[in-house]
Amino acid sequence: MPRRTMPKLPQLLDRKIYKTGQTRGAGGDEIYQNRVSRNSTVLIPYPVWIRHFTPAEWARHFEKGYIVLISPAEYFDRLQNGTALADGGLELGRNALVFYEARVQWLEHDPAAMNWVPAESRLAPLLGQYVARISATTATDNGAKIIRGFETTANKGAGIRVYEYANEEAIEHCRLQLEALFWLCIDAEEVAVANGMTQAGAALHKREILNSCEQHHLLDYARLEEVRILNRGRRTICPLCLEELSSQGFFSRMEQAEGREVLDLTVTQLNLFHIEELRMGAFNHRPYNLG
């Protein structure tokens, strides 16, 4: 892409744009991966799969596959002995796993008693039938947390939240459009120079990025105005208050409350968000939806 052949963007801005292609953070004991690409393997709760993703054309959207997570109650009460899994295009150990989240589930349906092993692969075959993330408790004996499957440092987390997904093309187009929105701020070139770019380098970067966005149909000004990302003057605005934005907000870190300062604070005054929220059954990390 153009970023490779042009003068480098200021590091903080480049990093902010790059991170839009990653998922949000996840704790070490969660089932989700932490800060990985949005086109990674997705985890889909079984009821969501049945409601939104059963048609084959939906499943093909996922570039690195998907894993459907089935609760023990759903599996042992309704799916174990019937054809519902196969009818939904699913097979335990291939693209579906039983997901233990509560200790009572673990005690009632002990996976060891069924000779099950925890899954370790994100691609079919999954090399197991289940995954577990059960919190520790002091209310009962043997209340230690139970973490099974996708738990090693090199294989942490089974996948990403399905509503955070975007394919590789959408990720790159979002990055291109977001950089264009930076250059359409009222003072972008001046701020870029103040943060380390040369005047010629900033002008070249702006010109090439806007041209690239035009070529990829990412600079429909009427559409950007309609979703309140640009105003009639083709300047970047806040979609909430409609004020024109200074690009310095991409570099100025948030003021911190006294006594609660964090040395490695990376939150800036301007933050990106989805105009239409991320939700099940839609791919909303896409161009014309980040402001």
Q: Which of 85-89, 184-188, 243-247, 258-262 has the lowest mean pLDDT?
A: 258-262
Residue 264 has pLDDT above 70, yes or no: no
Residue 105 has pLDDT above 70, yes or no: yes
Considering the entire predicted model, what is its pTM? 0.88
Average pLDDT over residues 45-64: 83
Residue 113's pLDDT band, with cuts at 50, 70 and 90, is very high
Q: What is the pLDDT of residue 281?
A: 83
Q: What is the pLDDT of residue 257?
A: 44
**Could you please report the per-residue DSSP string of 197-250?**
--HHHHHHHHHHHHHHHHHTT---HHHHHHTTSB-TTS-BB-TTT-PBPPGGGG
Residue 84's pLDDT band, with cuts at 50, 70 and 90, is confident
Q: What is the pLDDT of residue 268?
A: 65
Return mean pLDDT, the chain: 89
Q: Which residue has the tokens 């570039």?
A: 63
Residue 267 has pLDDT above 90, yes or no: no
Q: What is the pLDDT of residue 265?
A: 45
Q: What is the pLDDT of residue 55?
A: 65
pLDDT tens figures, 164-204 = 999 999 999 999 999 999 999 999 999 999 999 999 999 99
CA-based nearest residue to 59, from 203, 200, 199, 162 = 162
Average pLDDT over residues 34-51: 94
Instruction: Please give the single-letter amino acid code of residue 245.
Output: L
Token pair, residue 77, equals: 């009460």
Domains of the chain, residue spans: 1-21+166-291, 25-164
Higher pLDDT, 53 or 224: 224
Extended beta strands in the chain, E state: 42-45, 66-70, 96-100, 130-134, 146-148, 160-161
Residue 75 has pLDDT above 80, yes or no: yes
CA-based nearest residue to 205, from 225, 224, 191, 220 = 191
Average pLDDT over residues 36-52: 94
Average pLDDT over residues 81-96: 90
Alpha-carbon separation of residue 131 from 30, 51, 69, 136, 147 (angstroms): 11, 23, 9, 16, 8
pLDDT tens figures, 122-148 = 999 999 999 999 998 866 667 899 999
Residue 26's pLDDT band, with cuts at 50, 70 and 90, is confident
Residue 28's pLDDT band, with cuts at 50, 70 and 90, is confident
pLDDT tens figures, 203-232 = 999 999 999 999 999 999 999 999 999 999
